[in-house]
Amino acid sequence: QRYCQDVYRGQLASVHSAARNQELQKLAQTYKILSPWIGAVTSCKAGQWQSHWEDSSPWNYANWAPTHPLHIVTTCTTLSVRNGLWRSRFCFQLRPFICQY
């Protein structure tokens, strides 16, 4: 997120519809890359696990893979290049990412 902000003056992408999810999946496929980061973070607040967008936009859509998001530690989210499903990942992993402006 910080790199996206500092270098590109953007935010990690937030996804608010199936159409947008598919658009980002197709974009990632053109680069044939590892599943990239998007801007969803899952964390425990006041004893409740919840997901939110890094850009503070409303949480009104989700496309989690089965068994995700993980409720163990705070996690960041990848968008599967293969099927468009989201998966929780440890935030320190180096991966490609999708910035929005």
Question: Can you give the pTM of this predicted structure?
Answer: 0.92
Instruction: Give me the DSSP letters along the chain.
Output: -HHHHHHHS-EE----SHHHHHHHHHHHHHTT-SPPEEEEEEEEETTEEEEEETT--------BPTT-S--SS-EEEEE-TTT--EEEE-TTS---B-EE-
Tell me which residue of 58, 54, 29 sits closest to 43, measured CA to CA: 54
Rg from Cα positions in the chain: 13
Give 10-residue mean pLDDT values along the chain (101 residues): 87 97 93 89 94 96 97 95 96 92 82
* Identity at 59, one-letter amino acid code: W
pLDDT of the residue at 1: 87
Q: What residue type is assigned to position 82 of the chain?
A: R
What are the φ and ψ backbone dihedral angles of 80, each rounded to 5 degrees?
-65, 125
Domains and CATH numbers, the chain: 2-100 (3.10.100.10)
